[in-house]
Amino acid sequence: MSQSQETTVTSTKWLGPKATSAAYFGHMMALITVFVWGTTFVSTKILLEHLSPLEILVLRFTIGFVALYLLYPRRVGFLGWKKELVMIAAGFTGITSYFLLENIALTETLASNVGVIICLSPFFTAIIGKIAGVDEKLRLNFYLGLIIALAGVSLVSFGSAKATEASGFSFHLRGDFLALGAALVWAIYSHLTKIIGTYEIALLPATRRTFGYGLLMMLPLTAMDDFAISLEDVMYFEVWGNLIFLGVGASALCFAIWSFTVRTLGASRTAAWLYVVPVITLCASHLILGEPLTTANLSGCALTLIGLIIAQSKFKKHQQQKHQQQQEKQSPSTGSAS
């Protein structure tokens, strides 16, 4: 076998026991992460009874930053302006923008609504990947799945919680649109994370630096917001307990794990695990917050998941077929890859 043939075979992700084991481990880590993230909407909802959305955000990621520093205390030098700008963009999208939009959305609508709407992020991830030219062609099944998922989100958005006397529908449009915006910026963050994964920087310091940039961009907002955290605010167990859960577990550890899964599985395949989030959020918000499980809620969640699965499943099959075709084309070649 020539050198180029050997490179082709070993670089194919699903060939070989080591690659398969890494993929399984990546999927397992993604499942653990989304299970934790599925409960964060409930945890944040509880904190909103004591703190503002921005106060929660600053405290959460300050705790997360300190936790990452304790896990990896070594200093990492300047990477160059081009790479640092990408990390600044990741901090702005994945930390400041996403969580501020999510936290404000939770003050305007149900935690279950936010959990379902956020899972539209894989669609945005695929569309951005197509626009950037880094993902496969979007096929008919993608658009069919998108339509079904949007129908499901519409059911959740208009059919849950407080009904209006006239129509019997729930109108939390402001909060739901904020959640939709959060899904979009998370998709951008996923692709930026994939780029950062190619840099010569370890996972924990890369995540820590992203957190740091995100925190820096929150500082101007504290001057405009009614930002005043008192000791009395954080004395209650339900406050500091949830802050530690969000800061250490859901932020420091889960963000590092998510970055690992993006490096291992790719942005689109990792984002597909977000499908599990609304199911966990619906159950947790009902059991802990007492939010209603209506027919519209359950039907909407089911439709959203069906749409996401339809959009993803055939895409994976097509992706494998394309890689196999590329392998067949490159097999006769004896020269080096261009």
Instruction: Please report the DSSP string for 47-82 in residue order.
Output: HTTTS-HHHHHHHHHHHHHHHHHHH---------HH
Do the domain assignments include residue 301? yes
Do the domain assignments include residue 11? no
Do the domain assignments include residue 130? yes
SS3 labels along 171-215: CCHHHHHHHHHHHHHHHHHHHHHHHHCCCCCCHHHHHHHHHHHHH
pLDDT at 335: 38
pLDDT at 331: 42
pLDDT at 261: 84
Tell which residue, 137, 72, 76, has the closest CA to residue 268.
Answer: 137
Do the domain assignments include residue 202? yes
Do the domain assignments include residue 152? yes
Provide the domain count of the chain.
1
Residue in the structure block whose two tokens are 């008192």 = 230
pLDDT at 223: 78
Do the domain assignments include residue 102? yes
Q: Is the dihedral of CA 332, 336, 337, 338 positive or negative?
A: negative
- Burial class of residue 29 (count of CB atoms within 10 Å of its CB; 0-12, 13-18, 19+): buried
Give pLDDT tens digits for 162-217: 443 333 444 467 888 898 999 999 889 988 888 888 888 888 888 889 999 999 99
Take residue 188 and report the two structure tokens written for it: 């951008």
Q: Is the dihedral of CA 223, 250, 24, 10 positive or negative?
A: positive
Decide if 115 contacts 41 (C-beta within 8 A).
yes
Residue ranges in the chain modelled with pLDDT below 70: 1-20, 133-138, 156-172, 225, 267-268, 271, 312-338
- Burial class of residue 306 (count of CB atoms within 10 Å of its CB; 0-12, 13-18, 19+): middle
pLDDT at 285: 80
pLDDT at 182: 92
What is the domain range of residue 311?
23-323
Do the domain assignments include residue 10? no
Do the domain assignments include residue 7? no
Rounded to 10°, the helix 203-224/53-71 angle is: 150
pLDDT at 85: 95
CB atoms within 10 A of CB 30: 24
pLDDT at 122: 76
